[in-house]
Structure 1
Amino acid sequence: MSRKVPPLNPLRVFECVARQGSFTRAAAELFVSQSAVSRQIATLEEYLGVKLFIREQGGVFLTDAGEAYQQEIGPAFSAIASATERLQTTTLTSPLRIQVYTTFAAKWLIKRLNRFNQDHPEIPVRISTSVAPINFSKSNADAAIQLCDRNSQGEKGEHLFDDIIEPVCSPNLIRDDAPLEKPEDILKYPLLQSHYRKTDFGDWLRFMGSRFNNENEITEFPSSLLAYQGAIDNLGIAMGQTRMLQDEFKSGILVRPFEKPLTRSLAYFLIYPEGQLISPKMRIFREWLIKEIEEDVL
């Protein structure tokens, strides 16, 4: 047998009027007109078949039936309000977990996180790193930032910025007898590449109308982060992700010998668990992230 529950909106209005002792104050709390409050009370009284309020010149007063009803449902509404507040507080203040690539975390995200922490100290952020595609069924991450193909990921993730690459090196690396004038001149130097980005040099050279010599000396590193450090330390030329190296360009420890960036079909996306609502804390982080990207002038 189903429970007999009155219409919930009129019931909420009744609780508010009974607590406030006034149709006017209840209307202000509920952000509705006083006439709307009156209609909701009339609806509830009609449903119950009981008069709940006496309207007199001095104000509005609960009837005996209304007083008894309020004593029973008032604690229920109070419990609902308390439970809702606790849930929202717990949801907002629990750590926000984001999975990203190590290079993205080290060269872009972490240096900006202090600004988020200052603006939102109530939302602790936990960063984990992985190059594997996110599997939310096996991860406790709230979201991930991953490099994906724009054509295949567009409907499942939120585009942050494109993968833009070009050769980078220390200004001290370039020799007078081997100037970097033509794209193929990079082949006169050792090349530094990430294990996970093995096609970057070939892609860029083809973009520039040159051929890639696979016999050229290539030093492979476990990550782009180490390849960039190798370039800083004069080990050779790396294929840099322009967006990740703005500080190095500004300080002069890395240079862009050609300033001919290639925008690839890949891009960084913010990805959420499929089929789940985005939490309030995730919305706050997302808005901050987009703002940082918009203000990140190349």
Structure 2
Amino acid sequence: MIRRIPPLNPLRVFEVVARTHNLTAAAAELNVTQSAVSRQIATLETYLGMELLRRERHGVSLTRAGHSYAQQLLPAFEQIASATRALVKGSGERALRVRTYTTFAAKWLIPRLGEFRRLHPGIEVNITNAVPDVDFDRDKADVAVQFGAGRWPRTQALFLFGDEIEPVCSPAYLKQYAPNAKFPVSLLRQQLLVSHYRRSDWSVWLAATGLAHEARDALQMTFGSSVLTWQAAIDGLGMAIGQNRLLAVEFDKGLLVRPFAQFAKPVQRDQGYYLVWPLRSRESRKRALFRDWLLSACAQ
């Protein structure tokens, strides 16, 4: 059976008139003119084929049919309003849920979160880690940091920083396999450390620098994440490809060095890190503050 539902805008106008018993008050609540309210009521009456309001000298009153109709409509509209309030309130009161990769969280975001907490102590941040692209309809997240070209369906994306890569190793490993730092190419004949999700990094860097032939006989060891790959480099298991923006702490502490820095510029890939959020969603204060802080931290 096909349900017969009147046009919703006239129905909403009737609900306000029935609740306020006043065309002027209804017009003010709806932010329209009184004549617009009258036209919407007339549209609804035409659709139903009956009179709902009596226009009297000192205002309006409901007809018997209008009164009966209003008794059933008003609770329905109140239930809609209540459900909307609960949904919006729940969304606003939750902690900010940030979805990103383990490597980005461990090497860039978490070391800086203390500053965000200091600036905004009332905002709780929950971080979850995942590799697949975010789906805000499926995943419980308010924002995500993703790696790519900045184009994901049904999202807004804000560029954070680009992908700058070059080889890294421990100072001890450099001294052992390239005693003369002026000739680091010998490192390419040793063991190369590979991150599973960044398998193409070595081939991209070698092709860009014209050194692919030097690494043709190198052994490889593969790890499940860049974090593990870089830890293996710190522990002297080989040389890895580093993402320079994520290894600032390791460079500052001298845990990793860039043996080719004086001979070749880092390779800039055509992808980068982006802050992503749903295309159609209510702006929240906590998301706006986190976005502004993230941009400022990236600029630093």
TM-score (norm 1): 0.69
Relative to structure 2, which stretch is displaced further, 27-36 or 112-121?
Answer: 112-121
Distance 1:3 1:222 in 2: 55
Identify if the C-alpha distance between structure 1 residues 7 and 188 changes in structure 2 by more than 3 Å, giving closer, same or farther: closer
Distance 1:34 1:14 in 2: 13
Give how far 1:284 is off: 8.6
**2:235 paired with 1:237:** no
Give how far 1:7 is off: 2.6
Identify if the C-alpha distance between structure 1 residues 112 and 236 changes in structure 2 by more than 3 Å, giving closer, same or farther: same
- After superposition, residues 163-178 of structure 1 pair within 5 angstroms as 163-170=163-170, 174-175=174-175, 178=179
User: Any conservation in 1 of the 2:163–2:268 contact (CA below 8 Å)?
Assistant: yes
**2:79 paired with 1:79:** yes
Give how far 1:20 is off: 2.5
Partner of 2:269: 264
Distance 1:195 1:203 in 2: 15
**Amino acid in structure 2 at the alignment position of 1:204:** W
Partner of 2:32: 32
- After superposition, residues 13-24 of structure 1 pair within 5 angstroms as 13-24=13-24
Give how far 1:278 is off: 5.8
Give how far 1:140 is off: 5.0
**Amino acid in structure 1 at the alignment position of 2:281:** P
Identify if the C-alpha distance between structure 1 residues 219 and 252 changes in structure 2 by more than 3 Å, giving closer, same or farther: same
**2:10 paired with 1:10:** yes
Partner of 1:106: 106
Query: How many residues are aligned here?
Result: 285
User: Any conservation in 1 of the 2:96–2:123 contact (CA below 8 Å)?
Assistant: no
**Amino acid in structure 1 at the alignment position of 2:232:** G
**2:127 paired with 1:129:** no
**Amino acid in structure 1 at the alignment position of 2:139:** A
* Identical residues among aligned pairs (%): 42
**Amino acid in structure 2 at the alignment position of 1:79:** Q
User: Any conservation in 1 of the 2:194–2:220 contact (CA below 8 Å)?
Assistant: yes
User: Any conservation in 2 of the 1:97–1:128 contact (CA below 8 Å)?
Assistant: no
**2:256 paired with 1:248:** no
For the aligned residue pairs, the C-alpha RMSD in angstroms reads: 4.5
Distance 1:196 1:53 in 2: 71
**Amino acid in structure 1 at the alignment position of 2:209:** M
Distance 1:19 1:119 in 2: 43
